[in-house]
Amino acid sequence: MTLRKIHFTSGVILTLFIGLHLFNHLCSVAGAEEHIAMMNTLRPVYRNLFVETILLSAVVVQIVTGLTLFKVSIKAEVSFFGRLHVWTGMYLAFFLLLHTSAVLIGRTVLHLDTNFYFGVAGLNTFPFNLFFIPYYALAILSFAGHVAAIHYKKMDRFLLGISIYKQSMIILGIGVAITLIIFFGLTNHFHGVDIPKEYNVLIGK
């Protein structure tokens, strides 16, 4: 397999997980309990030794191959979606490294359940939210942008009478909508977020 095919394959594996993960976060609109209930339903699918090993391996492969391809692609890509593909990939590599490390540390060092509260502790606390709001928002938007760029490159020019450019822009628009809905659910502007005391360690309390 070429480097690009390896990168694409690991990306497909991660996309399947990220799709489930974003769906889980969308459930936060109904409240923390509903979010955690859905997480507990989905966890047996991906939080087992076999699948988790595949996912962690895919993360490593995605980051290493992505950084290698970046050096080549940044000079070759000149179109809007070409550049979007490159730069969203770079941010996703940064996010995957930090987010995966944080979750593993939370589980193995801090002995926390990395559930709804693990994610929203910093998101709902000043000044930590000055980092976490753009950090998470850019991650979701970069994922949507990366998918849109790949769609633009790989799909036919027209589908159901809609140009490939418009299709990709629709994907971007869906990404913006998902970002807004998720933030609506994960912040205390909707139903309020009371963070259990064991998660205060994440915000220095």
Q: What is the CATH number of domain 3-203?
A: 1.20.1300
77 pLDDT more than 90: no
Weakest mean pLDDT among 24-28, 91-95, 157-161: 157-161
Give the per-residue pLDDT at 192.
64
pLDDT average, residue stretch 24-43: 95
Give the per-residue pLDDT at 1.
65
pLDDT band at residue 204, thresholds of 50, 70 and 90?
Answer: confident
**Percent of the chain residues past pLDDT 70, beyond the cut:** 95
User: What number of other Cβ atoms are within 10 A of residue 162's Cβ?
Assistant: 11
190 pLDDT more than 60: no
Q: Which two tokens stand for residue 69?
A: 């391809």
Question: Considering the entire predicted model, what is its pTM?
Answer: 0.92
> How far is it, in rounded angstroms, from Cα 103 to Cα 117?
12
Give the per-residue pLDDT at 73.
85
Q: Is 159 helix (H, G, I), strand (E, B) or coil?
A: strand
Q: Which two tokens stand for residue 18?
A: 């990220």
Give the per-residue pLDDT at 5.
94
Chain mean pLDDT for the chain: 92
159-187 confidence digits (pLDDT tens): 677 889 999 999 999 999 999 999 999 98
